[in-house]
Amino acid sequence: MSSDETPPYWLLISVLFSSQPLSPSLAMTLHQTAYELHERGEGMKEVAGDMLSGKVRNLRKDVALGGIAGPAFEAEIETERGSGVVRFILTRQGLEMMRQQPASPPRPKYLN
């Protein structure tokens, strides 16, 4: 999925608590990992990137905060700013938008 097709992160994820400031790219990484956990029904997944490592856990419960509701997740992360915890919701609107996205074509495999 190209960045032109990706919905803005504030429609996809609602952060309940974060001990670290979240950049848009960090929020999208957490969202993508949580979305995969939710769709597969899995409980935990490692996450890693240039400036991030840690674990995202599916709390396996839906929560509501005002007009925002969805499945809840918790991430324990290590960033260039230190360790932190993020608790967040995947929004129902964001889940529906992701399900409507066309599947990205498989990446070509190159032989050396």
| Residue 5 C-beta-side C-alpha neighbours within 13 Å | 9
44 φ/ψ angles, rounded to the nearest 5 degrees: -155, 150
Greatest CA separation found in the chain?
54
User: Band of the pLDDT at 27, cuts 50, 70, 90?
Assistant: confident
Q: What is the pLDDT of residue 2?
A: 46
Query: How far is Cα 11 from Cα 97, in angstroms, rounded to an integer?
Result: 9
- Start-to-end CA distance of the chain, whole Å, equals 26
Q: What is the pLDDT of residue 1?
A: 45
| Domain range annotation of the chain | 9-99
* pLDDT at 22 > cutoff 50: yes
Q: Is residue 44 packed enough to be buried (19+ CB in 10 Å), middle (13-18) or exposed (0-12)?
A: exposed
